[in-house]
Amino acid sequence: MRIEETDILIVGGGPAGLSTAGRLADGVKAIVVHQDKEIGWPVRTSGGSFKGDIDALGVPSEFYVIVNTAEIYSDNRRLELDMSSDPVVVLDVTKVYRWLAEQMNAELHCATKFLRVERDGDGFLSTLRTVGTGEWQVRSRYIVDASGWHMAVLDSLALKPKPERKGVGIEYEFPARNHRLTKAVLFFGKSIPSGYGWALPTADGSIRLGLGQIRPINTENPKDLMDRFLASGELERMGLPQPEDFHVNSGTLPSEPFEKDLVFGRVIRVGDTANFATPTLGEGIRICITHGRALGDALSEAVLQGRDKPLKRWEKSVTRELALKYKVGFWVNQGAAQYSPENWDASVDRMSRVPSEELLQFFKNEFPPKTILRRAWLVLKRRILRKFGRQTG
Ligand SMILES: Cc1cc2nc3c(=O)[nH]c(=O)nc-3n(C[C@H](O)[C@H](O)[C@H](O)COP(=O)(O)OP(=O)(O)OC[C@H]3O[C@@H](n4cnc5c(N)ncnc54)[C@H](O)[C@@H]3O)c2cc1C
C-alpha cells in the first residue's frame, strides 16, 4: 500500500480542521482528509452566528446576511428581541468553508475517509480510503481529530467513546418568494420536545426552517417531527410561509459536557470532537475557527521546535476560556431539555423581563458571575433536596 509521510494528519474538513490547517507555518507538512466529495457541501449546519465575532475573524461581509430582530415563541407566548447591540448573522456556510479552505497550508484530499490508526514509534500510521483509488496510508508525527461528532481518531485509538448524547437537526431550505424574511425566529414548546426550532433568512433570499432535538431524550424521526410541525398551524402563527421546493439539510453534533482533556500526547481534538459548540444553542462555527487557528499556531511551533509543550499551552488556554461557562451552559441545557410546554411559557415570560443585551449574552453562552453563582446555588440546592429526600423517603 502507498505510504505518505507528513508532520500532521488532520481528519475532517469542517471549520475546525480547515482553520487549524489555515494557520500552519511554512516548513510544516500537513495532510487534511475529508470524507465528503467537496468542502462545504452538503450543508449540515444553519450558519447562525454573531457579527462582531465573525468580523473579528475576518470573514468577508458578502458571505453573510445581518439580522437585527428575533421573535421568540413558546406555545402561548411571543417575545420580540432587539439584537442591534450584538447583531446575528446567517452565514453562507458553503462559501465560508471554501474561503477557509483557500487559506490552508496543507494538502487536501476530499472523498477520502479516515478508516483507522495505529501507533507507529512515537507517531501514527493511519489508513485512509479515497473514492476511486482505494486504500493508502499516512505516517505522521501528530494527528488532529477534527471529524466532528464522528470522533473518528479518538474512537480508533480507544481514547474516547463516540458521544451518546447528541443534538440532531433537520432543516428545510426554500426560496422565500414574495415573503421577505428579515428576522430570526426561535421557537420552543410542544412541537419540539427536548429541543428548539428556528427560521432564518439566508444571504441568497431563502429561508431555513429547522428543528433540533436531543437524543436519546427524544428519539422521534426528525422528518416526522417536521411534518407534524408543518401541519400544526404554528408556522402561520409565526407569520412564516409553508416550505415549497425545499431541499433538506441535516446534521448532528455532540451534546455532552465540555471536557478539559484536548491533547493526548500527539493526538489532539478540536471542534465538535472536543464539544466546542455552545451548550445553550449548539452554535459552534466561530468557536471552531477561533480555537482551530490557535491550534494551528501551536502545532507549527511544536513541529518547528521539536517539542510538544505548545500543545499543552493551547489546551490550557482553551480550557481557561470555555470550561466554566460551558459547565453553566450545560446545566441550562440539561434543565431545558426536560421543560414542559408550560415551563417554556414561563421561560419566555422570564426572558421578557431580562434586558436584551443580557439575553443575547445568554444565547451566546456568556454568563456574568452573578448568573454563575445563582445557577451553582440552584444545582447545589437540588442535590441537597434530592439527598435529603432519599434519606427521609
Ligand atoms: C442541525 C445543526 C445546526 C447547527 N446550527 C449552527 C449554527 O446556526 N451556528 C453555528 O455556529 N453552529 C451550528 N451548529 C454547530 C456547528 O455546525 C458545529 O459546531 C461545527 O460544524 C463543528 O465543526 P467541526 O469542524 O468540528 O465539525 P464538522 O463541521 O462536523 O466537520 C467535520 C467533518 O469531518 C468529516 N469526517 C467525519 N469523519 C470522517 C472520517 N472518518 N474521515 C474523513 N472525514 C471525516 C465530516 O464529513 C465533516 O464534514 C449546528 C449543528 C447542527 C448539527
What are the pLDDT digits (tens) for 53-68?
A: 999 999 999 999 999 9
pLDDT band at 385 (very low <50, low <70, confident <90, very high): confident
Beta strands 166-175 and 184-187 are unpaired
Say how many C-beta atoms besides its own lie within 10 A of residue 77's C-beta.
17
Residue 320 lies in a domain: yes
- Match 500552519 to its residue by C-alpha cell: 24
- Choose among 143, 154, 146: nearest CA to 8: 143
What global pTM score does this model have?
0.94
Among protein residues, the one with the nearest Cα to ligand 1's atom 30 is 148
Q: Which atom of ligand 1 is nearest to the CA of 285?
A: 11
Cβ–Cβ < 8 Å for 86, 68: no
- Choose among 151, 143, 103: nearest CA to 127: 143
Is the CB–ligand 1 distance for residue 156 below 6 Å? no
| Number of domains observed in the structure of the chain | 1
Least confident of 29-43, 231-245, 368-382: 368-382
Residue 349 lies in a domain: no
Quote the cell numbers at residue 153.
Answer: 481518531
Q: Which atom of ligand 1 is nearest to the CA of 48?
A: 8
Is the CB–ligand 1 distance for residue 15 below 6 Å? yes
Taking each helix axis as running N to C, give the angle between helix 93-102 and helix 15-22, from 0 to 180 degrees, rounded to the nearest 10: 30
pLDDT at 48 over 90: yes
pLDDT cut 90: percent of the chain above it: 88
In tens, the pLDDT along 306-346 reads 999 999 999 999 999 999 999 999 999 999 999 999 999 99
∠386-323-348 over CA atoms, to 5°? 60
Residue 353 lies in a domain: no
Domain that holds residue 34: 3-43+95-163+261-331
Residue 130 lies in a domain: yes
* 212 sits in which H/E element: strand 206-215
- Choose among 63, 123, 66, 57: nearest CA to 95: 63
Q: In this structure, is the dihedral angle defined by the CA atoms of residues 188, 255, 231 and 238, taken in order, positive or negative? A: positive
- Choose among 48, 83, 59: nearest CA to 196: 48
Is the CB–ligand 1 distance for residue 283 below 6 Å? yes
Find the CATH number of the domain harbouring 156. 3.50.50.60
Q: Which atom of ligand 1 is nearest to the CA of 170?
A: 1
Among protein residues, the one with the nearest Cα to ligand 1's atom 52 is 45
pLDDT reported for residue 377: 82
User: Distance from the CA of 207 to the center of ligand 1, in angstroms?
Assistant: 20
Residue 316 lies in a domain: yes
Characterise 230 by phi-psi region: left (phi > 0), alpha (psi -120 to 50), beta (else).
alpha
pLDDT at 204 over 90: no
User: What's the whole-number mean pLDDT along residues 274-293?
Assistant: 98
Residue 256 lies in a domain: no
∠205-240-279 over CA atoms, to 5°? 85
Among protein residues, the one with the nearest Cα to ligand 1's atom 1 is 169
∠110-114-119 over CA atoms, to 5°? 140
Residue 307 lies in a domain: yes
Among protein residues, the one with the nearest Cα to ligand 1's atom 39 is 147
Is the CB–ligand 1 distance for residue 253 below 6 Å? yes
Residue 81 lies in a domain: no
What span, in angstroms and rounded, lies between the C-alpha atoms of 319 and 18? 21
What span, in angstroms and rounded, lies between the C-alpha atoms of 360 and 197? 17
DSSP string, 126-185: EEEEETTTEEEEEEEEEEEE--GGG-HHHHHTTSSPPPSSEEEEEEEEEE-TT----SEE
